[in-house]
Amino acid sequence: MSEVRIFLSGCMGRMGRVITDMVAESEDAVIVAGSDVVMNPASAFPIYADPNECKEEFDVIIDFSHVSALAAIMKLAETRNKPLVMCTTGLSEEQKADLKALSNKVGVFYSGNMSLGINVLIKLVRQAAAQLYPDFDIELVEEHHNKKLDAPSGTAIMIADAMNEEVDHQLEYVYERQSKRQKREKKEIGIHSIRGGNIVGEHKVMFIGGEEILTISHSAQTRSVFARGAVAAAKYMAGKEAGMYDMQTMLG
């Protein structure tokens, strides 16, 4: 397939506009249509208020919109029998179950973080946890902008969960230590949140031994890293069969 044709849900949002600009510079992908509650008469491709009114042919859907649009986007994927790259965050457990059910019919790509670098970090900390725990203590620090509502970040939990899975779920998540006066237990993984300024996203995992410290970290300089991951996932998913896919699947 020489050029992947993309339907972009949420095309007028902040991430949608970043993806649009990124694909415009790509030689092997094109956005043929999109959907949003906001219209743009100057758009280079048609924008639909209802995605299911789309008349254009496409190979894959990227959804970077809002949870309220999920039902319509899932219907589009099922009706047109095309894979879906789900980038929208904040899905409920019920909506995640709906995505899983959809994956029995079409390919569904879903990841808690669309950054390629973060997902490579997850592969690395898995290996480190398997080799170093329980001889090394594990601490995780995440930093985000001062407008972020949740703490710890979903990505921090995703990183912790990956390490915990690697060590047969032996780790106990500790979010604060001031309420109890006792020494650190070996099974603990400390998860710490920093909020300030315009930090896009910083995640650092420390493996702390008696004589050495291994630190694995990732810094998102701009939100474009999430758009780049979404476009890479769309190219990967084009033509894929039904099933659930994620960044770890794509990275092998």
Gap between the Cα atoms of 108 and 237, Å rounded: 8
Strand order in the sheet with 188-195: 172-174, 188-195, 137-144, 201-208, 213-220
Contact status, residue 9 vs residue 65, Cβ threshold 8 Å: yes
From residue 165, give the alpha-carbon distance in Å to each of 4, 18, 138, 162.
35, 34, 14, 5
187 is catalytic: no
Active-site residue (options: 66, 75, 123, 148): 148
- Phi and psi at 163, nearest 5°, equal -65, -40
Gap between the Cα atoms of 34 and 49, Å rounded: 9
Active-site residue (options: 82, 144, 203, 218): 144
144 is catalytic: yes
Catalytic residues: 144, 148
